Amino acid sequence: MIRVVILASGSGTLAQGIFDARSSTLEGIDIVALISDRPGAQVLLRAQNARIESFVIPMMADRSEWDREIETLVAALKPDLVISAGFMRILSAKFVERFKVINSHPALLPLFPGAHAVRDALAAGAKETGTTIHWVDAGIDSGEIIAQERLDILEGDTEESLHERIKILERGLIVATIASLINTMEKNNG
């Protein structure tokens, strides 16, 4: 079994997609924990309902202390893979050097990195966007691209409507990408 830790900050629809796929596409993973930086995040309830242990490490005034806390916790969980699923914090260079971390981003990187990718794509007048799964490095959405899926921007799309359509793509793409990665990891370990 491949040990996985999920990092999430919000409603948890992406994490839920991963939880749900454990009975089919992702049978080879053991989600050992979910970690959030927001005490009231809906993803914590989703984790509880899925019987996944969860932890909350709220951002601290001393950022380096927060970095140490999250690194220490993740190290204790001994994951083979860390999945950033709507985690709205930048991880330290030390963290991403120590652990294999992937992230889902709601744009076709390298276009529109950062926290406002959907808004930025609309503001730029882009005709298409999509989602990217990438390795996390010390930069902002600058790691090696693993997979992408495209989506046309429709006339009349708002930031909210476009983001909802992207989220549907993201859920499918992240599950397929994790399945591919765990298959490779199992071959390498076997």
Q: How far apart are alpha carbons 93 and 104 in whole angstroms?
A: 18
Q: pLDDT-derived band of residue 188, with 50, 70 and 90 as boundaries? A: confident
**What's the pLDDT tens digit per position in 150-162?**
999 999 999 999 9
- Residue bearing tokens 């994951």: 79
Q: Which helix (H) or strand (E) covers residue 81, if one does?
A: strand 81-84
- Is the predicted pLDDT of residue 189 greater than 80, yes or no? no
The reply to whether 105 belongs to the active site is yes
The architecture of the domain spanning 2-189 is 3-Layer(aba) Sandwich (3.40)
- Is the predicted pLDDT of residue 19 greater than 90, yes or no? yes
Chain mean pLDDT for the chain: 95
Q: pLDDT-derived band of residue 190, with 50, 70 and 90 as boundaries? A: low
pLDDT at position 119, please? Answer: 97
CA distances from 6 to 119, 122, 189 (A): 25, 29, 21
Query: How far, in whole angstroms, is CA 176 from its chain's centroid?
Result: 13
**What's the pLDDT tens digit per position in 138-150?**
999 999 999 999 9
Q: Are strands 81-84 and 54-56 parallel, antiparallel or unpaired?
A: unpaired
Q: How far apart are alpha carbons 12 and 47 in whole angstroms?
A: 9
pTM for the whole thing? 0.95
Report residue 62 as tokens.
Answer: 């001393």
Task: Please report, for the chain, the start and end positions of each structural domain, with discontinuous segments joined by +.
Answer: 2-189
How many CA atoms does the CB half-sphere of 52 hold within 13 Å? 29
Number of Cβ atoms within 10 Å of the Cβ of 164: 13
**What's the pLDDT tens digit per position in 175-186?**
999 999 998 888
**What's the pLDDT tens digit per position in 73-109?**
999 999 999 999 999 999 999 999 999 999 999 999 9
**What's the pLDDT tens digit per position in 162-176?**
999 999 999 999 999
